[in-house]
Structure 1
Amino acid sequence: MDNLKGKTVSLAHGAGGKQTSELIDQVFKAHFANPELTSDDAAVLKMKEGKIAFTTDGFIVSPSEFPGGNIGKLSICGTVNDLSCMGAKPLYLSCAFVIEEGFPMEKLEAIAAAMEKTANEAGVKIVAGDTKVAGKGQVDGVFITTTGIGEIQEGVETSGFMAKPGDAVIVSGDIGRHGCTILLAREDFGIDADVTSDCAPLWGTVQDILSVTKDVHVIRDATRGGVGTVLYEIAEQSKTGIRLNAEAIPVQDSVKGVCGMLGLEPLYLACEGRLVIFAPKENAEAIVAKLREGKYSSEAAIIGEVTEEMPGRVVVTTEIGAETLLPPPGGELLPRIC
């Protein structure tokens, strides 16, 4: 908006008076308007009978803008995807902003615009929110917390405890791009590579899976810690082992190049638009075929299987046929990626 050019957020915008109302009207209501959006203390919503999924997540990514998205898009995708992984159609979101004094209004408006666009794509409504302004240096630009409610689809039950020996392990696309994108965006290493975040809302992808079969044991989004961390979590929850085929794991060449230079493992780089799916082997090929028709899953692949051996461990069969233990996740590889 032209009237926001050159303006910044001040402490007065968080004081609850006229400036707060102007900020909400000019930035948030301008992008989030829908019949359920409330200015009261809580939104009043209609819900169907049945089970719901309910989740919340905080976003403090640095930098707040990156190739493929910004913190606003990320905040919608993160919560929509958490609901989707439970087989729940995303319905409603709330969002809370903590904004640093001096943050440019134009950047804030761009974040809200990205949230509007992504919420519309996901078919979810932003119905409530909160705005706080922190003093200079108390917040790194802007932090966002989103909370979501979704309607669990009939006949769907997913959990990390439900992985079974004989399940195929599927990823919905190439891995590690978000973590690699954020690493390069910080310009700490002076590496110039063409990498764009995979940040995307994935309810449509989950619908594609469920259109093939509802007999899906686990769906997880591989965010902080990447696919490797997700696999270890599921192996521990289900008390099973997981065997991966290194050749089958899709990784973009540019991501491979960056990982090679920096000694990183793509399996531990964050994704923000990729699912890890555990399903019976007899359904796996049909799931992958359907996913490859999708907007965000054209490189879906079967990358391994669940075994009874070595419960709680992840083993990788290398390109030369040797087997090696995937090192368990530890430490903090890339802070502030979501």
Structure 2
Amino acid sequence: MRFLPDGKVDGSILAKRVFPYLGSLQDEILVGPNVGIDAAVIDISKLSGMMVVSQDPITGAGKNAGFHVVNVCANDVASMGAKPMFFLSTIIMPKGATDDDLEEISKDIERAAKEIGVSIVGGHTEVSGKVSDLILSGTMIGFSDRYVSTSGAREGDDILLTKGAGIEGTAILAETKSEYLSKYLDLNLIEKAKGLLNKISVVKEALIASSLGANAMHDPTEGGVLGGLHEIADASNKGFEFYEDKVHLYSETKSICNILGINPFGLISSGALLVISPKEKTNSIIESLLKEKIEVSIIGKVTKEKRSHERISQDELWRILDTKL
């Protein structure tokens, strides 16, 4: 182990600590990451007709931030009906970071990438005294013959939710607030809550729902399920009716939210997918998801303009992280 100096990480360190972890390799990559290579070259001539691109930063995720950034970016691409394929990352580490830290981040990114069949094709890595904590930013590129827009909701459509609310937030709080939570909750429950991180990919369900004719999809990240519903309504110029009692909550989410006084519907919810379905296609979408062992329920309907719930001003995760417990 050695401390990394400020500035761009040296190529010899990248060769040992980053480049061995490039996810799922694909034939379309003609030029990939290497020392002295500043851009990737990808042959897209045989890929589906439309490119879908998404970019997201990750802050406040703590441990497993690399796993988070890949999945959050992939979820955005898949929520528009595209298969995520190529990923680029920017890693900015605070002063005092080591080459071991860098390798752990790289391994974490690769773990997520391999799980969903994504190749890591480039990025940038540096140490900066301007930051006090790790900052990751990712760009995901996917391809599809058909895209689904958040703006596609129509009056009368069913609103489906896969898995449950607050999945990512539960995992992050279990990791970052474990000392406080351990005063009130069993350690086994806290460890199970951390394990919810492994449920944050929605790629599989998004591609299924898209192929079966969903009108719109959205992964509810910051702002939780309520934030996601408002974003769909904003994009589609529609309203919604939300059935709180129909939303699945994992026992770990219920317990942590009760202890911390959190509204689970306003807690960052990567891992869940909001699917806006024409009524005539709802049953086939639900049946196909259940066949793949993906939990799903009808949690509301799209209305002409009235919204049953108010918008929240701040994600519950940030409210708790900013509070001294």
Q: Distance in 1 between matches of 2:258 and 2:163?
A: 20
8 Å CA contact 2:268, 2:316 repeated in 1: no
In the alignment, residue 298 of structure 2 is paired with which amino acid? I
In the alignment, residue 88 of structure 1 is paired with which amino acid? A
Q: Distance in 2 between matches of 1:331 and 1:246?
A: 19
8 Å CA contact 1:76, 1:201 repeated in 2: no
Do the aligned partners of residues 267 and 8 (structure 1) sit closer, same or farther apart at CA in structure 2, a change above 3 Å counting? farther
Q: Percent identity?
A: 26
8 Å CA contact 1:103, 1:141 repeated in 2: no
- Which of the residues 256, 261, 264 maps onto 2:262? 264
Q: Distance in 2 between matches of 1:189 and 1:225?
A: 25
Matched residue of 1:284: which SS? Answer: helix
- Which of the residues 273, 277, 280 maps onto 1:279? 277
Q: State the shift of 1:332 in Å.
A: 4.6
Do the aligned partners of residues 279 and 15 (structure 1) sit closer, same or farther apart at CA in structure 2, a change above 3 Å counting? closer
Q: State the shift of 1:243 in Å.
A: 1.1
8 Å CA contact 1:169, 1:278 repeated in 2: yes
Q: State the shift of 1:188 in Å.
A: 7.9
Match of 2:208 in 1: 208
Alignment of 1:35-46 (within 5 A): 36-39=31-34, 40-46=37-43
8 Å CA contact 1:172, 1:274 repeated in 2: yes
Q: Distance in 2 between matches of 1:253 and 1:38?
A: 42
CA RMSD across the alignment: 2.3
Q: Distance in 2 between matches of 1:174 and 1:100?
A: 34
Structure 1 runs (4+) deviating above 6 angstroms are none
Do the aligned partners of residues 30 and 304 (structure 1) sit closer, same or farther apart at CA in structure 2, a change above 3 Å counting? same
Q: Distance in 1 between matches of 2:263 and 2:8?
A: 46
Alignment of 1:119-134 (within 5 A): 119-134=113-128
In the alignment, residue 307 of structure 1 is paired with which amino acid? T
In the alignment, residue 304 of structure 1 is paired with which amino acid? G
Q: Distance in 2 between matches of 1:206 and 1:43?
A: 27
Match of 2:181 in 1: 191
In the alignment, residue 231 of structure 2 is paired with which amino acid? E
Match of 1:169 in 2: 159
8 Å CA contact 2:148, 2:214 repeated in 1: yes
Alignment of 1:1-338 (within 5 A): 7-11=1-5, 14-15=7-8, 20-32=10-22, 34=25, 36-39=31-34, 40-48=37-45, 50-63=49-62, 65=63, 70-135=64-129, 138-152=130-144, 154=145, 156-187=146-177, 190-192=180-182, 193=185, 194=189, 195-196=193-194, 197-198=196-197, 199-211=199-211, 213=212, 215-294=213-292, 297=294, 299-310=295-306, 313=307, 315=308, 326-335=309-318
Q: State the shift of 1:126 in Å.
A: 0.7
Matched residue of 1:32: which SS? Answer: coil
Q: Distance in 2 between matches of 1:247 and 1:141?
A: 38
* TM-score, normalised with respect to structure 2: 0.85
Q: Distance in 2 between matches of 1:44 and 1:157?
A: 24
Q: State the shift of 1:287 in Å.
A: 1.1
Q: Which has the higher helix share?
A: 2
Matched residue of 1:130: which SS? Answer: strand
Do the aligned partners of residues 60 and 280 (structure 1) sit closer, same or farther apart at CA in structure 2, a change above 3 Å counting? same
Q: Distance in 2 between matches of 1:234 and 1:62?
A: 25
8 Å CA contact 2:174, 2:181 repeated in 1: yes
* TM-score, normalised with respect to structure 1: 0.82
Do the aligned partners of residues 24 and 239 (structure 1) sit closer, same or farther apart at CA in structure 2, a change above 3 Å counting? same
- Structure 2: where are the runs of 5+ without partners? none
8 Å CA contact 2:181, 2:259 repeated in 1: no
Q: Distance in 1 between matches of 2:305 and 2:95?
A: 55
Instruction: Single out whichever of 271-280 and 103-112 deviates more from structure 2.
Output: 103-112
In the alignment, residue 105 of structure 2 is paired with which amino acid? I
